[in-house]
Amino acid sequence: MKSFLSNLFGSFSKPWWVEISTSQPRCLYYFGPFQTETEAAQHQGGYIEDLEQEGAQQIDVTVKCCSEPAHLTVEYTEPSNTMTPVYNN
C-alpha cells in the first residue's frame, strides 16, 4: 500500500533541479530532472567540477523543486541584461 501511495503522489510532484549560476560567463544552467532532492544534491558536484574545468567563476548552486525550465542554459548578454537561450528543451 505504501508503494502505491508513494507512486501516486510522486506522479503529481514536481521534479528536482540543480540550478547553477556563474558570473563569468554570466550564465544560468539547469541540470536534471531528479526524483528527489538527495539525488539532485548527489549529482551537483560533477556539474560544478565540469564548469570549473571550463573556467567558470563565482559558481552559485541551488537545488530546487520546480517545473521544467523553459531553457536549460541561459546566457545573459551585456549591457542590457537580456537573456539568450543557449539550449531549448
Q: What are the pLDDT tens digits along the chain (89 aa)?
A: 444 544 544 556 899 999 999 999 999 999 999 999 999 999 999 999 999 999 999 999 999 999 999 999 999 986 655 666 665 55
pLDDT for the residue numbered 88: 56
Among residues 8, 27, 7, the alpha carbon closest in space to that of 19 is found at 27
Give the dihedral sign, CA 34/62/73/68: positive
